[in-house]
Amino acid sequence: MNKTPKRILITGLNGTLAPALADALNTVGLTVIGWDRSRYPTDNFATVEQFWSEHQPDACCHLGMGSPNWAGQLATMCHRYELPLLFTSTAMVFDASSDGPYQTTSPANPQDDYGRMKLASEQAVVSACPDALIARIGWQIHDRRGGNHMFEALSQQMEQNGKVTASETWIPATSLMSDTAETLMALLLQGQRGLFHLDSNAVASLNFAEIVKRLNNKLNAGWKIDVDQSYRHDQRLLDARVVMPRLSCRL
């Protein structure tokens, strides 16, 4: 598993973060193989084995939405062939009922379906492939419309409500998508294993209202911002092993 992978399977290329990771990997000369759900339905182990036989990836980055069962199947194949596996999880494995900042050793307590699904997927991955790399990430920030990220969600809120509501009592786990992609690539190519937290807002932290104001100015979004205290949560993800550009310097 120490050999640098050349052909990397990435799930989720129709999503938001996976294309950014694919671009980063392509930039350093690596070949990206996408998962075509129309040809290879998920949750079918025979299909997963067929994919491996036909494409022969030598690493897997599982960023696509899917069940814990699919995550476990991909992990099984990586363990079988001793291949690196990266799985992206979420800060949503920590509910606001227990405040952060969270270490990788902090007990997870997801209360919504997404957080529960991601935690169950983490467990399925580790059970099938103990050497997997699991990266928990926060809400991603991109500079263009389209996809599942902060700028798009806030722009839609402005269009629908005529304003953007931003709590000053929420410190979100969040990073620029490009920084997350670069960090994920570095961890993968370094051969890292185990659980990591990726959060550009963990140090010199900004609350959500401050982030929204800075993003509004940086992108000339023209939002009307209503600052309140509607949501209280310190969601920061701490990990001294991971050095990311500080969000306070990026915005």
Phi, psi of 3 (to 5 degrees): -70, 135
Q: How confident is the model at residue 43 (pLDDT cuts 50, 70, 90)?
A: confident
Contact 43, 54 (CB under 8 A): no
The average confidence (pLDDT) of the chain is: 96
Per-residue pLDDT at 4: 81
**Which helix (H) or strand (E) element contains residue 134?**
strand 133-137
Q: Give the position of tokens 């929204």.
A: 212
Please list the alpha-helical segments (H only) found in 139-198.
Answer: 150-161, 177-189
| 139 Cβ neighbours under 8 A, 6+ residues apart | 91, 149, 150, 172, 173, 174
Domains of the chain listed by start with CATH number: 7-140+173-198 (3.40.50.720), 143-171+204-250 (no CATH)
Q: What is the rounded distance in angstroms from the CA atom of residue 114 to the CA atom of residue 90? A: 9
Half-sphere exposure of 145 (CA within 13 A, CB side): 7
pTM, entire model: 0.96
109 pLDDT band (50/70/90 cuts)? very high
Alpha-carbon distance 34 to 39, whole Å?
11
Q: What is the pLDDT of residues 159-213, one digit of tens each?
A: 999 999 999 999 999 999 999 999 999 999 999 999 999 999 999 999 999 999 9
Cβ count near 207 (within 10 Å)? 19
Which tens digits make up the pLDDT trace of 225-245? 999 999 999 999 999 999 999
CA separation for the pair 171, 247 (Å, rounded): 12
What are the pLDDT digits (tens) for 137-165?
Answer: 999 999 999 999 999 999 999 999 999 99
DSSP structure class, residue 198: E
